[in-house]
Each structure stands twice: as C-alpha cells, then as structure tokens.
Amino acid sequence: MITISKRKFKQYFESKMYSLYAQPINEASNEQHLNVLASVLKDLIAKKWVDTKIDTEKEVYYFSIEFLLGRQLKSNLLNLGVENSIREGLKELGINLDDLIQSEVDPALGNGGLGRLAACFLDSMASVGMSGHGYGIRYKYGLFKQKFVNGCQVEVPDNWLTQGNYLWEVVRPNKAILVKFEGDVYLEEHDGNLKVIHKNYIPVMAMPYDIPIIGYRNNSVNTLRLWKSEIPRRDFGQTTANAKNYSGSYEEALNYKYYTEEISQVLYPNDSNYAGRLLRLKQEYFFVSAGIQDIYRKYKKHKLNIHELHKKVAIHINDTHPALCVPELMRILLDIEGLSWDEAWNITINTISYTNHTIMAEAMEKWPVEMMKKLLPRIYMIVEEINKRYLSYLNSKYSDQNKIRRMSIINNGNINMANLCIASSYSVNGVAKLHTTLLEKEVLKDFYDDTPYKFNNKTNGIAHRRWLMSANPELSGLITNLIGEEWKTDTFKLKELENYKNDNHVLDRLDEIKYNNKVLLSNYIMDKYDIDVDPNSIFDVQVKRLHAYKRQLLNLINIMTLYHKILDNPDMDIEPRTFIFGAKAAPGYYLAKCIIKVINSVADLINNDPRVRGKLKVVFIENYGVSLAELIIPAANVSEQISTTTKEASGTSNMKFMMNGAITMATLDGANVEIHELIGKENMFLFGLTAEEVLNYNKNGGYSSIDLYHTDLGLKQVVDDLINGFIPNLGKEGREVYDSLITYNDEYFVLRDAKDYERAQRELSELYKKKYDWNRMSLINIANSGVFSSDRTIKEYGRDIWFRGCEINEEFNKL
C-alpha cells in the first residue's frame, strides 16, 4: 500500500508541474493538472510496477482484442487508498479533484460486454494478487461516438488521443517487436536440418504502450500492454534481413507506411457479429504475434527450460479473436526453438486456454483459407498441419463422417476458429451455467463428447470496486456502516445485509440513496436533452448494445401498449415510469439503427403528448459507454434483461444493476438464471419462453408471428402503429421493423413473449406501490450479489484453469 501525506503530495505536485510544464500551478490548464497528477501517481507506483515475475511465479497473459477500461483516475486513487490526502492537497492548491476526474477521457477500446469483461478481469487479477497481464491493441480510434440527428444514429470518430498520448501509458521503444505479413515461405537444408525460410515478407513494428493495472490496496501493479503498429524505425533492434524491399519509389514508401499504420487505426464496431475482413485478420495476427513473441523473449531472458513453458506461463484467449496464439506459439517452438512437432504441440496445448462467448452463428469467426494463406503463409501451413493431425485422430476414433466434418478445423475453404481453439487448448469455458450447458449439450456437443474434461463453466463477474464502491459511494457508505469494511475484499460478506431486511430505517435509507442517484441522472437528462424526468417515477432502464436478440423492441412494444392504455383511459391509475435506453448500433446493422429511430420517434410522441401528463417518459441517452453506465446504473429501479432465452451467453450489466439494488425484469437467460437461483422468483420478475421452448421452436418450427398478430388485437394495434403514420416523423424505419416482426416471422420471439412481459410489468408496477416491500427486495438483491464480483470469477479461473495442478501459486489451487 502507498501512503503520501498531504504536504508531501503538494510539494511533489508543484515540482512535477515545473518539470513538465515550467509554469506555476495557477497558470496551468485543467488538462495540465490532470497530466501532472497522473504523472505523480505513476511515479508513486513505479517501483512496484516491475516488468515480470516469470522466474518466481506463474504468469497469466490475457489476450483480448478489446479492453473497455473506463476512466482510470478515480479507480486508481481508490485502489491506492490515497484519494483523501490527494483531494485535500489539491483543494489547498485551488484544484477540485472531481473536476479532474470528470475531465479524463474514457478510452472506448471495446464494444460492450466482452471488452468490459476483460477490463474487470484485469482489475480483479491485480486485486487478488495474481500476476496477470493483458495484451491488446492500442487503437488510434476507439468505438465511434454516437449522436442522434432527427432520431437517427450518426457515428462520429472517437479521436481519443487528442494530445497524442494517453494519460496513463508508458511507451517502451526498446521492447518493440517485428511482425511479419505475406511473403514466401519454403524449407531450406542447413547442415542436414530443414529450416523454414520466410522471405519477402512485409515487416510491421509492434510498439508496446503499457498501462499500469493497480490492485486494491495490495502492492500489486500488473500491466496492460497495448500494441501500436508502425513502420519499423531506423534504430529498430530486430533484423529485417529477408524483408520485402521498400527502397523503391516514394509512392511505394507511402503505401508501405499506410499498410503498417492502418493495422492499429480503428476498432471494429461490431458486437457479437463476425466481420470477415482482411484488415481484421491483420489486427488479430498483429497483436497475437507481438504478444507471443514478447512472452517468449521474457522467458528466454530468464534462461528457463522451454519444455516447462506451461509451468510458468498461462495464455488465455478471450473468444476466438486471438485464436492465432495457437499457430504462432507453434511457429516459435518449431522454427525458432527447433523443437519437433510433438514437443511443440505438447507445450502449446498445455499453455493455451479459451473462453467461448456466444452461440450465435453470425458471431462465429471463419476465415477463408485463401485469405490466410496469402496474408500469413507460415501460420496457414501450421494450421493445415494441425487440422491434418486432428482429422487423423478423429478418423481413428469415429466413423461418422458428418461428425468429423463438423469438427474439422478447415471446412469448405474456411478455417473455423472455434474448432481450432477447442482442438488446441486444455480448457474451454462458457460464461454462465446455462451457456456452458448449451455448449456441452447442443452447440459443441461433438467436442464435449470427445473431450469432456476440457469443458468448464466460469460465470462472468464485474469489478465491484468500480461498479459499486466507486459508482455508488453513498450506497457503499451505508453498507460499510451496517456490516463493516470486509465486504470490499470479500463480497460474499454482503450477505450480512439480509439481517436488515426488516429494518425500516435501513430500507428508508436505501430508498433515499436511490432517490439521490436518480436526481443526479435527472439533472444530466435535463442538462443534455431538456427533458424533465421525475425522480419519483420508476426508473426502468435498458442499457446495452443494440441487438435484435437483446430485444429493445420488446421493451418498446410494452411502452406503446401502456401508451395506448393511457390514451384509452386517461384517468388510469398507473405508477409513473421513466423508460431509459442507452445503446449503440453497429454502423452496418440496418435493423438495429431502425430500432433506434423508432424508439426516438416514440419517445418524442409520448414526451410531448399532454394527455400522458407525466405518467410516462421515454429517454434515449446518446453515446452509452462506461462513464455513462456509472451514472445510470446506480439510479435504476428496474434492470431490463429481456433477451430471447438461449441467446445472451451471460450478460454482465444484469450483475451491475443487481449490485446497485435494481430489481431485475428478466427471461431465464444467461446469468439471469443464476440470479434467480440466488434470490428466487419472489425477488425478481420473470417472464417468457424457456430455453427448451426456444430450442424446440427453432428445431421444429411451429411459431407463426403472423397468426399471433391476427389473434391478439392489442398487439396488432401496436405493430400496425409502425407503418400507419401513428408515430410521427417515422419513415421506412417503421416498415423495416414491422417486416422483421411479421414478414420475417419474428426470429427473436418478440411478439411471442410480449403478453407475458406485459403481465410481469404489471406485477412490477403493483409492487412498486408498496415501498417497503420494494426496498426489501432491493436489499436482498444487493445482499446476494457478492458472487458476481469478478474477484470470484478470477479466482475460479486460477483454481480450475491457469494454476490447476501447479505447485506454484498454491493459493489459487486451494480456493
């Protein structure tokens, strides 16, 4: 732990201001204050931020194509435990810490759940004292900023590196790495041995930018290393002897510069959707190759035995995007280390583990053989060899040719990346119990039957330090007053809150805290959109990426139904509600963008209808991201988790909401199933088709949305509103959404679940009237949310996957 007195801090801050900017504090800008503060903090942790512990303990390397970190200042201060002295010190220097906290950029180097999970895992690895590091890409442009123009989503580039550098990063030019693309590969004989020669390749330099990941009051500082692609610098240490020659024309040189820099230029804005573009494949190999070479270099520096790599290093791949870790590690072991295939394979398969994140077909990565062969000739040769050997194994074991085809890594001219991961790793995990069961019983059944011991579940989690302690300080304070501090490092202790479930004093406080958080959000909404929302109304929130399977449309249909009811019966006694949305759509996802437009048009209609008189408000907050999530989630009464059952692998916002005392409105999908196991149906609202029903419909057909539409007149009215002009300012978008429901038979069972959803929403509304019952439910949710801390998840990864059977890090074997 770090301590610094107020007096010392002030001196430090002042001298840093002079050394960085040569000016007095009172003349510096906000931005400069922030830079100086970050610089002071980096100095404070410098000694603890050691490069590696590989010689003394096993290290984990978490490869992810996205890390959605969120702002770092507040969480770094919290974890270091220096917030108070620094806040006071700054105050005496005339600087408000909260202004600095709010002015920090929010790096959007991820799309949604997958990238945020990676960030929560980094926080937890450091906080439980694990030596675990991240590898990713330093995108110049993160996820686009979302604006609404006339209700439509418009994408604005996220130029987050406005100052050229990120506050918390440290660039390490002496650790740059050469990554090779394209070229010719052949075998040459050297002293009777065959050697792989790679000529005429395009050399790209991977420049590491390190971000410190600070553990919670425990002296751990791990590293997130993000790679930037560059043209190799003149003083670049590694040889490019066989590289393609670019000493030709000026134009050629420019093209080459563009080729290299383009790789880390922009994050692909797709969530759970496979893009299949050449540049994406370049990105994937770029950061994987840099990372694997980096690990190998460290390992060799410590003169460790290569045959024991898996005893010192665990490589984890977050979904299939880093799947090329497999052939890249094989390449190094074969071509550089000179091992035999069997030796290399034995090391690789004992080093790499894999997390599956989805069962949706459109998200499954399949790279065309021709594309990979040209871009990564040596890597493709290795994949082909892995496949050849895997097929011969399968053929020796099975005679069912269909089964073998399904399991083959290469099929129909495509490389199936999930199959590559499963065949080449020692552990395959799903991200919630239901999801893992579906993998084992349905989607990956062939593989599960073949190697059941590889499969395991690791239910996702969230960093409670960010999502409760930092985002909801008032609730955090109440909890500490009631049960002490221990819950901060052991969230299972939250269970003790249940002792207060009949304490009306505590329930009143809970209500008050929620109200205060709602006021903060109301103020934001007023400032930004000039919409007056009543903090006494139910705040009913759905924030997540916009996707048909997440069913924002189901939410909207219920809102429309309510609206009609109010119009039909203006004196109806309903609990006032504010429906809040936040969601970005992938720029190429037309239906999702149409849904945004429809929601915005309906919001306009309802918010400006005097007949509604404050009973209903609809607000779509632009540009949802981590910082907004930190404002919105603590203010929610209701958490909408209404995906088509089987489609949401886990969800993590469901956990964030629960921990902040929102009541979940849910289908039994993803981790909602586990929330239900913990608190029972009496402490949440459930509706909708079961997993089995969805699977049976999908297998046997039997669902006809148009039949339903013709039999349920209330539903018909709302669906017709999409195309009959009832919603002003709505054009072809209404038709598109209508067609998805009627013409294309409602793939995600929106209409099928609509009636049951309405029923559950009605029950929720009734319960809200009983203040103490509602707040008791809220308390029970908080009390049972401890299992969803990512500290628990990470300890399970350690115990069951990364440190399984290791004599080192015994700690995690014992858990």
Could you list the residues that contact ligand PLP (CB under 6 A)? 112-113, 116, 544, 625-626, 629, 651-653, 656
CB of 641 to ligand PLP, least distance (A): 7
What is the C-alpha separation between 177 and 474, in angstroms, rounded? 46
**Residue 708 CB neighbours (<10 A):** 20
Phi, psi of 288 (to 5 degrees): -70, -45
647 included as an active-site residue: no
Task: Give bridge partners of residue 416 from the DSSP assignment.
Answer: 366
Return the SS3 of 315: strand
**Is residue 660 within 8 Å of residue 462, measured between CB atoms?**
no
56 included as an active-site residue: no
**Is residue 270 within 8 Å of residue 111, measured between CB atoms?**
yes
Task: Annotate 238-255 with DSSP letters as a single string.
Answer: S--TTBPP--S-HHHHHH
CB of 431 to ligand PLP, least distance (A): 10
313-318 and 142-149: which strand pairing?
unpaired
Residue closer to ligand PLP by CB (options 112, 203) is 112
Q: What is the largest CA-CA distance in the chain?
A: 93
Element (H, E) at 210: strand 202-214
**Is residue 585 within 8 Å of residue 592, measured between CB atoms?**
yes
Residue closer to ligand PLP by CB (options 329, 432) is 432
Residue closer to ligand PLP by CB (options 514, 656) is 656
Tokens 């929620």 belong to which residue? 514
What is the C-alpha separation between 604 and 131, in angstroms, rounded? 51
Q: Which amino acid is at 151?
A: G
Residue closer to ligand PLP by CB (options 210, 271) is 271
The DSSP letter of residue 468 is I
Residue closer to ligand PLP by CB (options 558, 790) is 790
**Is residue 607 within 8 Å of residue 618, measured between CB atoms?**
yes
Q: Which residue of the set 656, 752, 792, 795 is catalytic?
A: 656
Residue closer to ligand PLP by CB (options 488, 656) is 656
Q: Which residue of the set 140, 282, 316, 357 is catalytic?
A: 357
Residue closer to ligand PLP by CB (options 109, 226) is 109
- Distance from the first to the final alpha carbon of the chain: 24
Q: Pick from 629, 460, 627: which is nearest to 543 by CA?
A: 629
The alpha-carbon radius of gyration of the chain (Å, integer) is 27
**Which burial class, exposed, middle or buried, applies to 7 when counting CB atoms under 10 A from its CB (0-12, 13-18, 19+)?**
exposed
544 included as an active-site residue: yes
Q: Which residue of the set 454, 514, 547, 550 is catalytic?
A: 550
CB of 144 to ligand PLP, least distance (A): 14
**Is residue 172 within 8 Å of residue 212, measured between CB atoms?**
no
Tokens 């590889």 belong to which residue? 454
656 included as an active-site residue: yes
Residue closer to ligand PLP by CB (options 89, 113) is 113
CB of 271 to ligand PLP, least distance (A): 8
Residue closer to ligand PLP by CB (options 415, 633) is 633
CB of 279 to ligand PLP, least distance (A): 24
> What are the CA-CA distances from residue 790 to residues 635, 640, 753 (Å)?
22, 21, 32
Task: Give bridge partners of residue 632 from the DSSP assignment.
Answer: none
202-214 and 177-181: which strand pairing?
antiparallel
> What are the CA-CA distances from residue 176 to residues 42, 255, 295 (Å)?
22, 22, 13
550 included as an active-site residue: yes
Q: Which amino acid is at 588?
A: G
**Which burial class, exposed, middle or buried, applies to 32 when counting CB atoms under 10 A from its CB (0-12, 13-18, 19+)?**
middle
Residues known to be catalytic: 357, 544-545, 550, 652, 656
